[in-house]
């Protein structure tokens, strides 16, 4: 479980994150949603310690995330897996080497043990025949799978995904979303996903926080977000024609019944 | 950046591989261009010296002497380092810059890896072998001068070799290697800094490489001036 208490972050006197408090539950897919520029990525970078917060507190399972405490932060980072928007695979390494990388850095396993573990996660993310390929030789969807495999190879307690289905076709995007949700339940980890994709919200949003201009304005589940009366959220959720039609159909069937 | 490069070390088994990889990329990969440039520069220095001294009263060994002094004191350490600022420096800036743009450095940080140590330390260590390249440049520069002056008829083999040995001071070699070590550090750190702290996309990676070359070569020239003032003046 990750708890954030009134965290703020500014760049050049412009407040990007404004006193956000939230709890990201263990074993659930926690979504941070909002329009582009609402502060989602900055919030995630603050959670990961890639950006320093101005005020507030971040607690990982009750332990304060303190960047100055090097031993605590080092141990914590080993328990964090991250899937970046652009996958962030190491270009100079093959798929297998990319996945083995965290094991090589943080475990004392033998090469054969590391390869066995890497093959387990490769199988888990449904990848085949890509071990010796370089990231430039595989598709966007495959890159995301490799990134997920690399993120989970150390059995993390926390998984962060920054727009994991951006740049993917709708079908692959759903497959990746489902994979993240399954892994969250299977490994019982605290997963935080940044997205502005409504399909993701509907498919995997166990818990959602909605950001507008750096402020949290709503919190709930994927079922609640569909039925909320909040105008700002409805504006976001039903911004596409498809979702407007879905809403209309739902309304009609409600009226009929 | 320098402070963080020498703290929180990456696992030795990983670091060892990275160092060998960097030696291959930065040192072994530069042997060709260094050999080619040095040989021709040495030849040009010898020919120009020969053409400039048409006075029959001047000793025949002057061409060898002038070639040795020019190559050992300046052309090998300084000119080759400026060429390396273009070759190795741009490579370092663009490779680290691309890692920055594609969030690979963020990925290292999230994993709890000291990215400064992981990326920059192996480059600094591998460039400790840079004096080897400069030694090669000195040897090939003088060889180029010998071949150009002897085979073009500007000097005899005996005169040239006598010129190389004339008034030889070991301190000149020491001075040259002191410069080389300082240039090696500059070649590893300034391009790394420009790659590491760049912002933007692919276009900015190119710009960062460009700026990195300008800074690296400028700093090399400034250090060259200071060290020469301190040690030879």
- Pick from A50, A70, A89: CB nearest B109: A50
Search chain B and give the residue with CA nearest A89. B104
Check CB contact under 8 Å for B109 and A105: no
Domain around A84 = 2-229
Distances, alpha carbon B143 to alpha carbons B45, B66, B81, B137, B180, in Å: 11, 13, 19, 10, 20
ipTM field:
0.82
**In terms of DSSP bridges, do strands A190-195 and A158-162 run parallel, antiparallel, or are they unpaired?**
parallel
Segments making up each domain of chain B, as ranges: 2-231
Written as six digits, the tokens of A100 are 């083995």
The series of mean pLDDT values per 10 residues for chain A, 257 residues long, is 91 89 91 88 89 90 79 81 90 93 89 91 87 91 90 90 84 85 90 85 85 89 80 76 72 74
Residue A234 counted as domain residue: no
Q: What is the pLDDT of residues B69-81, one digit of tens each?
A: 999 999 999 999 9
Minimal CA separation from A116 to chain B, in Å: 19
Q: Quick one: closest CA in B to A51, which residue?
A: B106
Q: Give the separation between CA A162 and CA A82, rounded to whole angstroms.
A: 8
pLDDT value at residue B200: 86
- Three-state DSSP at A13 gives coil
CB contact under 8 A, A86 and B102: yes
State residue A81 phi and psi, 5-degree precision: -115, 145
- A104 → closest Cβ in B14, B99, B109: B14
Query: Is the per-residue pLDDT at B184 higher than 90?
Result: yes
Interchain CB distance below 8 Å, A78 and B107: no
For residue A250, tell me if it sits in a domain. no
For B74, residues 6+ apart whose C-beta sits below 8 A from its C-beta are none
Check if the beta carbon of residue A103 is closer than 8 Å to that of residue A149: no
Distance CA B208, CA B205 (A): 5
Number of structural domains, chain A? 1
Handedness of CA B183, B185, B187, B191 (dihedral sign): negative
Contact B106, B112 (CB under 8 A): no
Helix (H) or strand (E) holding A99: helix A95-106
- Judged against a pLDDT cut of 90, whether residue B94 lies above it is answered with yes
Q: What is the CATH number of the domain that holds A72?
A: 3.40.50.300
Considering chain B, what is the average pLDDT of its residues? 92
Query: Inter-chain contact A82–B8, Cβ cutoff 8 Å?
Result: no
Classify residue B55 as exposed, middle or buried by CB count within 10 Å of its CB (0-12, 13-18, 19+): exposed
pLDDT of B122 higher than 80: yes
**Any chain A CB within 8 A of the CB of B111?**
yes
How far, in Å, CA of A181 to CA of A183, rounded? Answer: 5
Separation of CA A144 from chain center: 12
How long, in residues, is chain B? 233
- Is the CB of residue B202 less than 8 Å away from at least one CB of chain A? no
Contact between B148 and B49 under an 8 Å Cβ cutoff? The reply is: no
User: What pLDDT is stored for residue B134 in this prediction?
Assistant: 95
Position A239 in a domain: no
pLDDT tens-digit profile of B42-61?
999 999 998 888 777 778 78
Contact B172, B76 (CB under 8 A): no
pLDDT category of residue B127 using cuts at 50, 70 and 90: very high
Give the Cα separation of B112 and B129 in Å (integer). Answer: 30
Residue A65 confidence (pLDDT): 83
Contact B109 A73 (CB under 8 A): no
| Higher local confidence (pLDDT), B213 or A178 | B213
Q: Do residues A199 and A173 touch, judged by C-beta distance below 8 A?
A: yes
- Find residue A5's DSSP bridge partners: A57
* Buried/exposed B113-140: b ≥16 CB within 10 Å, e otherwise: bbbbbbbbbbbbbbbeebbebbebbbbb
């Amino acid at each position: 479980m990750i708890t954030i208490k009134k965290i703020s972050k500014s760049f050049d006197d412009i407040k990007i994150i404004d006193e956000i408090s939230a709890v990201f539950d263990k074993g659930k897919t926690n979504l941070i949603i909002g329009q582009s520029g609402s502060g989602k990525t900055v919030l995630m970078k603050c959670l990961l310690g890639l950006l320093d917060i101005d005020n507030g507190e971040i607690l990982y399972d009750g332990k304060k995330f303190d960047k100055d405490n090097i031993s605590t932060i080092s141990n914590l980072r080993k328990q964090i897996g991250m899937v970046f928007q652009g996958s962030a695979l190491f270009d100079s390494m093959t798929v297998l080497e990319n996945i083995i990388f965290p094991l090589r850095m943080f475990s004392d396993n033998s090469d054969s043990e590391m390869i066995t573990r890497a093959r387990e996660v490769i199988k888990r993310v449904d990848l085949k025949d890509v071990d010796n390929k370089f990231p430039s030789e595989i598709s966007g969807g495959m890159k995301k799978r490799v990134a997920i495999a690399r993120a989970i190879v150390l059995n993390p307690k926390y998984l962060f995904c920054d727009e994991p289905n951006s740049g993917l076709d709708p079908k692959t995007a759903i497959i990746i979303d489902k994979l993240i949700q399954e892994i969250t339940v299977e490994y019982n980890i605290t997963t935080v996903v940044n997205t502005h994709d409504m399909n993701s919200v509907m498919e995997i949003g166990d818990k959602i926080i909605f950001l507008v201009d750096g402020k949290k304005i709503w919190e709930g589940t994927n079922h609640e977000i569909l039925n909320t009366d909040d105008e700002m959220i409805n504006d976001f959720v039903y911004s596409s024609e498809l979702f407007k039609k879905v809403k209309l159909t739902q309304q009609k069937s409600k009226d009929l019944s | 950046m320098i402070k963080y490069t020498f703290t929180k070390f990456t696992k030795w088994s990983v670091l060892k591989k990275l160092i060998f990889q960097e030696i291959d990329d930065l040192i072994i990969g530069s042997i060709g261009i260094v050999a080619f440039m040095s040989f021709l520069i040495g030849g040009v220095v010898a020919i120009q010296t020969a053409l400039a001294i048409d006075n029959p009263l001047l000793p025949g060994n002057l061409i060898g002497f002038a070639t040795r002094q020019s190559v050992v004191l300046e052309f090998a350490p300084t000119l080759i380092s400026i060429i390396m600022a273009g070759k190795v420096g741009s490579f370092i800036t663009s490779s680290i810059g691309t890692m920055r743009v594609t969030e690979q450095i963020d990925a290292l940080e999230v994993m709890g890896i000291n990215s400064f140590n992981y990326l920059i330390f192996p480059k600094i260590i591998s460039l400790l072998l840079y004096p080897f390249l400069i030694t090669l440049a000195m040897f090939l520069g003088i060889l180029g001068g010998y071949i150009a002056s002897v085979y073009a008829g500007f000097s005899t083999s005996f005169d040239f070799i006598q010129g190389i040995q004339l008034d030889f001071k070991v301190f000149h070699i020491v001075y040259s290697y002191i410069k080389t070590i300082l240039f090696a550090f500059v070649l590893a750190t300034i391009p790394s800094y420009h790659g590491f702290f760049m912002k933007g996309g692919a276009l900015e990676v190119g710009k960062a490489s460009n700026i990195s070359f300008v800074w690296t070569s400028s700093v090399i020239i400034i250090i060259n001036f200071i060290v020469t003032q301190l040690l030879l003046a």
